[in-house]
């Protein structure tokens, strides 16, 4: 992954997102594959979906990932029972200082997964970074539900942006959206359509800006875990499934060239790792975003000075140094 040369490396913040697949099959091996690749990627923030929890709400899987990476589990909630036993939910992990964390109610109580997890972090450059890990409703006929869920996430992020405005925040939304790029959900996020409440918003999608078209699919028919998942929902011939891009990383606002702007992106946890075997039925995404230091404010006395006065002072300064003849 090659970040733009204009962006200093110490001003980049790396986020990785992955739907882990909460199936109990080979969970230990798949968790080990995830930990190994995270050791190479070294993200500052990790967003996970379909985390496997035990019946008591603990997660051996999260504990293993946290121990291996040195990250803290900042937000994680066991939400619903899986048909194979155990519970599933989302999580946000990071070693960055946490200003607050918790869950976002998605306003769809009829859906078993009705919470997104979030954390407000302090970047090394001092800027606040709001991170949301979301797993939206599954199903081809659930687009209206997903639109309600993203509308709720957007409203909460707006509130957090206002609360942390003195820290010049950026906001990142990552996860498994279960929807195609041209869907109503994504059209709402990129400003082309209205939310479930009739309002509008704008987010910048990382793939649209810095994604590799050859690495578009995050769920591929050739993935053996995808095939297993397909058979589990009655799709006998999984090779007939289209490859799909349903996992995303978004940054809040018109971020092009501004703090929060995505500058590099790659697909992660694929079958092209040195193991030749994917860690999940989803491929993950790793994105570098620009998080520059907070600039000092212009002193009030300078803001109050008329431009003609400043220009006159500049002429006097040049005359005194002999630079102006």
Q: What kind and span of H or E run contains 113?
A: none
Task: Give the distance, in angstroms, between the CA of residue 196 and the centroid of all CA atoms in the same chain.
Answer: 22
Segment 98-138, tens digit of pLDDT: 999 999 999 999 999 999 999 999 999 999 999 999 999 99
The C-alpha atoms of residue 309 and residue 319 are separated, in whole angstroms, by: 16
* Tokens representing residue 24 in the block: 């109990």
Give the pLDDT of residue 292: 94
| pTM (whole model) above 0.75 | yes
Segment 135-181, tens digit of pLDDT: 999 998 999 999 999 999 999 999 999 999 999 999 999 999 999 99
The C-alpha atoms of residue 128 and residue 164 are separated, in whole angstroms, by: 7
Between 96-105, 182-191, 207-216, 312-321, the lowest mean confidence (pLDDT) is in: 312-321
Q: Percent of the chain, pLDDT > 90?
A: 67
Give the pLDDT of residue 268: 92
The C-alpha atoms of residue 247 and residue 314 are separated, in whole angstroms, by: 54
In the chain the first and final C-alpha atoms are separated, in Å, by 52
As to burial, measured by CB atoms within 10 angstroms (0-12 exposed, 13-18 middle, 19+ buried), residue 187 is middle
DSSP state of 140: T
Residues 6+ apart with CB under 8 A from 221: 227, 238, 239, 240, 241, 242, 243
Task: Give the distance, in angstroms, between the CA of residue 167 and the centroid of all CA atoms in the same chain.
Answer: 20
Under 8 Å between Cβ of 279 and 34: yes
């Amino acid at each position: 992954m090659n970040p733009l040369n204009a962006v200093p490396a110490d001003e980049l913040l790396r986020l990785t997102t992955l739907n882990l697949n909460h199936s109990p099959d080979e969970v230990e091996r798949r968790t080990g594959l995830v930990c190994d690749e995270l050791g190479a990627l070294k993200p500052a923030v990790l967003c996970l979906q379909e985390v496997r929890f035990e019946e008591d709400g603990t997660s051996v899987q999260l504990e293993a990932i946290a121990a291996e990476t040195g990250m803290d589990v900042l937000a994680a909630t066991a939400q619903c029972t899986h048909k194979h036993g155990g519970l599933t939910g989302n999580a946000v992990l990071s070693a960055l200082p946490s200003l607050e964390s918790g869950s976002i109610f998605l306003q769809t109580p009829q859906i078993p997964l009705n919470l997104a997890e979030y954390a407000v972090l302090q970047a090394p450059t001092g800027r606040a970074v709001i991170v949301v890990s979301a797993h939206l409703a599954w199903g081809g006929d659930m687009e209206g539900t997903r639109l309600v869920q993203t509308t709720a996430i957007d409203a909460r992020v707006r509130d957090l942006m206002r609360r942390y405005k003195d820290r010049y925040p950026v906001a990142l939304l990552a996860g498994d959206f279960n929807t195609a790029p041209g869907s109503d959900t994504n059209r709402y996020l990129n400003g082309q359509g209205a939310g479930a409440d009739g309002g509008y918003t704008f987010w910048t999608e990382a793939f649209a800006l810095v994604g590799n078209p050859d690495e578009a699919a995050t769920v591929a028919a050739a993935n053996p875990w995808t095939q297993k998942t397909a058979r589990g929902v009655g799709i006998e011939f999984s090779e007939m499934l289209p490859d799909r891009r349903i996992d995303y990383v978004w940054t809040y606002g018109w971020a092009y060239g501004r703090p929060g702007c995505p500058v590099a992106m790659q697909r992660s946890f694929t079958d092209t790792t040195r193991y030749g075997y994917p860690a999940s039925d989803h491929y993950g995404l790793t994105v570098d975003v620009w998080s520059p230091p907070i600039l000092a404010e212009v002193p009030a006395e300078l803001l109050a000075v008329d431009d003609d006065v400043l220009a006159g002072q500049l002429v006097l300064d040049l005359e005194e140094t002999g630079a102006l003849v």
